[in-house]
Amino acid sequence: MKRSVLTRYRVMAYVTAVLLLALTVGVIGKRLLHLDGFDGFVTGVGIAHGWLYIVYLIFAFDLGSKAKMPLGRLAWVLLAGTIPTAAFFVERKVTREVEPLVIKDPEPQTASA
């Protein structure tokens, strides 16, 4: 498996997790604390998280299929983007498990003069 498959999954896991945390804070501010000005924030972050979660699903499924993950583990990885902070922990665990499957890039050869 190429390193880029793991890297793009990791990037999207972090992006999705950060946006979900921001969305959670925004919803708490809007609904529970009744703070003014959170309407636009929640709408914008919610839309961004929704679209980027779809990208996360694609990259996570690609990683899971190439790493030959069992369906239960793949389902947990896919759902991690919907639970605040879960993607951070799942990403670390998946990275540790998948890292040995990454093909090492050959050392660049220097031309002898």
Buried b (16+ CB within 10 A) or exposed e, 13-25: bebbbebbbbbee
Per-residue pLDDT of the chain (113 residues; tens, 9 = 90+): 888 899 999 999 999 999 999 999 999 999 999 888 888 999 999 999 999 999 999 999 999 999 999 999 999 999 998 998 999 999 999 999 998 888 775 556 666 55
Which residues contact residue 112 at a Cβ distance below 8 angstroms, ignoring those fewer than 6 apart? none
